[in-house]
């Protein structure tokens, strides 16, 4: 009955609703430039065709008149040339305007289809996954992978009684992290939350999380859940392979719940870096050995000839 407490509870809803309405309004306004440019292009194109038809008729009439005219009436030709040049300039201007409008319209339509317009609010407003057990709003998943994952998740739901939804989003705008978004979708999409879970991947920042009810998390295990989200999904996403990360994450979850061995995270190759240079001590040691070798060679080079000479002298 405390008015201040009730105001604190009720106040966030209009703010959230206003934020979502603003996002929807921005997406709706994005259609306006493309539609207007399309109409302008059609009008300019029809105007150009109308001008060209009049130009053709005028030129044909002048050509017939000039064919029947005598030589003294050649003074009328500059007027025909001026009209033809003016009509060509007008038609060329309309053509350039039409090309510009078409290019802008195409750019607007491409912007509308750009995944960057996808927001977290699209996921929050969805009544359920858009493709079976999956909502790829980022989008980062391949169609073949989605089909295979839906088959695995369908068997998990019907055969084992555990439901798992997969959500990908380009970036977070309302939720603090991927786990918070997963908790919201778990609450909204599932009647029996205890046996349900949600695997979330945020494309921006490669953030991933696996959340679920008590029975679901007990079946997966907290340690395995952390490894799946961080060592598999997030890792592959950071390597530019988010589709493989989500697919491998779903594979690990289904294997664990089905009582099979956990495939585990990807094996990271450890490269042993070997030193390719010599230390100061090694250089000094090799230098000393080199001096000894050179000294021995010099000694041999001087002593051997002297001994040979001494032998020759004694013979004589």
Q: Tell me whether strands 163-169 and 134-136 are parallel, antiparallel or unpaired.
A: parallel
Q: What is the pTM of this model?
A: 0.56
Please report the pLDDT score of residue 69 as a whole number: 45
User: What are the residue ranges in the chain where pLDDT is below 50?
Assistant: 1-18, 55, 59-60, 63, 66-76, 81, 107-116, 271
99 in helix, strand or coil? helix
Q: Which residues pair with 208 in a beta bridge?
A: 201
| DSSP alpha helix (H) spans, the chain | 3-10, 12-29, 31-68, 77-112, 120-125, 143-155, 178-189, 214-220, 222-227, 235-238, 242-257, 280-315
Please report the pLDDT score of residue 314 as a whole number: 78
Q: Name the one residue in this structure whose structure tokens are 């705008």.
A: 173
Please report the pLDDT score of residue 168 as a whole number: 96
Please report the pLDDT score of residue 118 as a whole number: 57
- Residue 252 exposure: Cα atoms within 13 Å on the Cβ side: 26
- CA–CA separation, 251 and 257 (whole Å): 10
- DSSP state for residue 174 in the 8-state scheme: S
Please report the pLDDT score of residue 270 as a whole number: 53
- Residue 59 exposure: Cα atoms within 13 Å on the Cβ side: 14
- CA–CA separation, 105 and 40 (whole Å): 10
Residue 211 phi, psi (nearest 5): -120, 155
- CA–CA separation, 292 and 290 (whole Å): 5
Please report the pLDDT score of residue 156 as a whole number: 94
Please report the pLDDT score of residue 2 as a whole number: 47
Q: In 3D, which of 164, 172, 165 has the Cα closest to residue 138? A: 172
Please report the pLDDT score of residue 27 as a whole number: 54
């Amino acid at each position: 009955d405390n008015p201040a407490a009730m105001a604190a509870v009720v106040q966030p809803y209009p703010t959230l609703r206003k934020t979502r309405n603003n996002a929807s309004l921005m997406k709706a306004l994005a259609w306006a430039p493309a539609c207007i440019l399309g109409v302008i292009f059609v009008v300019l194109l029809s105007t150009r065709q109308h001008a060209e038809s009049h130009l053709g008729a005028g030129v044909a009439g002048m050509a017939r008149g000039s064919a029947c005219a005598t030589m003294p009436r050649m003074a009328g030709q500059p007027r025909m040339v001026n009209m033809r040049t003016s009509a060509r300039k007008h038609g060329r201007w309309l053509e350039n305007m039409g090309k510009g409008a078409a290019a802008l319209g195409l750019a607007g339509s491409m912007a509308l289809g750009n995944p960057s317009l996808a927001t977290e609010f699209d996921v929050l407003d969805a009544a359920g996954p858009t493709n079976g057990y999956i909502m790829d709003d980022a989008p980062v998943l391949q169609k073949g992978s989605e089909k295979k994952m839906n088959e695995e998740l369908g068997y998990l739901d019907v055969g084992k009684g555990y439901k798992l939804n997969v959500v990908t989003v380009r970036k977070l705008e309302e939720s603090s992290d991927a786990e918070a978004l997963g908790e919201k979708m778990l609450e909204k999409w599932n009647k029996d939350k205890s046996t349900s879970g949600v695997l979330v991947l945020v494309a921006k920042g490669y953030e991933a999380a696996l959340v679920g009810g008590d029975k679901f998390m007990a079946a997966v295990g907290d340690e395995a859940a952390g490894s799946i989200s961080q060592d598999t999904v997030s890792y592959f996403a950071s390597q530019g392979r988010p589709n493989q990360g989500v697919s491998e994450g779903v594979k690990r979850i289904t294997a664990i719940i089905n009582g099979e061995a956990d495939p585990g995270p990807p094996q990271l190759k450890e490269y042993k870096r070997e030193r390719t240079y010599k230390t100061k001590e090694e250089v000094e040691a090799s230098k000393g050995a080199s001096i000894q070798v050179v000294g021995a060679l010099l000694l041999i080079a001087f002593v051997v000839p002297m001994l040979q000479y001494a032998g020759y002298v004694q013979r004589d």
